Amino acid sequence: MKFPCIILLGLLITGCKKQAHIEFTGTATGIKNGVFIVKTAGDSTIFGENIKDGKFTVVKKILNRPGYYTINITDADSKDEHNPYEVYLVDGKYTIEAEAGKLYKYPKIASPSKIQEQLSAFYTLADNMSVEAQQQVTQINKELKEKYASLSPDAYNGLLNKLQQNEAKIRDVDVTAFKQFLKQYPQSDISAHILSKLNYEGDPVSYYAIFKTLAPAAQNSEEGQEIGNKLSHMINLVAGKKAPAIVGKTPDGKPFDSKSVNKKLIVVDFWRASNELSRKNHDQVKSLLAQDDVQKNVAFISVSLDSKADWWATALKDDNLTWTQVADLKGDDSPNAANWNITEIPTNYILDSRWNIVIPKIELKNIGFEISQYLKKHH
């Protein structure tokens, strides 16, 4: 007859459990009218308050659970946009400091959270090292978006080249900042989480070497195990490595034979019939293939990750896809997806004539530029 007492004790303990609350006070120097917003990792707004004359306050609110969230600060009088700031919220009071014209920088945050302390340390380090490159990337993306229709091919390619150079600088800075962070917090149990937010796909070799130095708690965390598994595969998918085989059949039912492809460059396109962006991208592939130099020197191979034969066949017919098409119709279970580390659709790789990787996971908008640069060097 001890069970009712145990149940009653459990109910009493639960009933006495303190409800977590959170409150914010902030300054956003130079922002006369704006908004401070707190969102879940899934992008749902949970708290918000107007910024008036550089100040804002969110009175004590119930915090359903501690964890990772994002905050946004907007300025109604400026287009000074920024990526959402990642934060870790716990029971207590948070003080935020930001500044108009510098919203691309991680704000100063005082809080009772040790995890937030680590997040602030890393993001501030990265910001301080990459401010100029971040500003360049923001400005170039703006130009590409606003002036796309009026730019000449040379001007467009010039901007893409500058964009890639600055993105490479940011990747280099992230590696350096992360190493410095680990010196400051060598036993950090959230280091794998921070690593997961970085562009590790741009330099998997360096990041895998760093990953192996993380504290055991970080490596063995759920995020640590996932990213460790990814990096162990990705180190074999970098420039210079032999590309994995492509498994599947062409629309006529014959097994795909890589020896049938005889071009200076090979673009491998992973797609799915139900993916709208994949279908739109194929229009750009047609435009590239309409260029004599591309048609002569470049082979495109589209590898479908569909699981339904009729969906694949219908898309081929409706979109008039005339270049090499391959599918094994195993969907996400395809060995092609695993061997090429396909985590999103569409994904593109550029290979040379010997099936060595030239550029892994390249955006389609950059393929034309990279093709022209490669062919200039290898005429």
Nearest to 194 by CA among 166, 227, 234, 230: 227
Query: What's the confidence (pLDDT) of residue 365?
Result: 87
User: Which residues of the chain are under the pLDDT cut of 70?
Assistant: 1-17, 131-134
- Structure-block tokens of residue 166: 């600055």
End-to-end CA distance of the chain: 88
So where are the chain's domains?
15-112, 123-234, 258-377
CATH topology of domain 15-112: Immunoglobulin-like (2.60.40)
Distance CA 79, CA 100 (A): 10
Per-residue pLDDT tens over the stretch 187-204: 999 999 999 999 888 889
Query: What's the confidence (pLDDT) of residue 149?
Result: 75
Query: What's the confidence (pLDDT) of residue 267?
Result: 97
Q: Write down the pTM of the prediction.
A: 0.70
Per-residue pLDDT tens over the stretch 56-81: 999 999 999 999 999 999 999 887 77
Query: What's the confidence (pLDDT) of residue 16?
Result: 53
Query: What's the confidence (pLDDT) of residue 155?
Result: 82
Query: What's the confidence (pLDDT) of residue 144?
Result: 81
> How far is CA 152 from each of CA 67, 133, 290, rounded to the nearest angstrom?
47, 24, 18
Residues 258-377: name the CATH superfamily.
Answer: Glutaredoxin (3.40.30.10)
Per-residue pLDDT tens over the stretch 294-337: 999 999 999 999 999 999 999 999 999 999 999 999 999 999 99
Q: Are strands 265-271 and 108-110 parallel, antiparallel or unpaired?
A: unpaired
Distance CA 232, CA 353 (A): 26
The helix/strand/coil state of 283 is helix
Query: What's the confidence (pLDDT) of residue 17?
Result: 61
Nearest to 207 by CA among 170, 236, 178: 178
Query: What's the confidence (pLDDT) of residue 131?
Result: 67
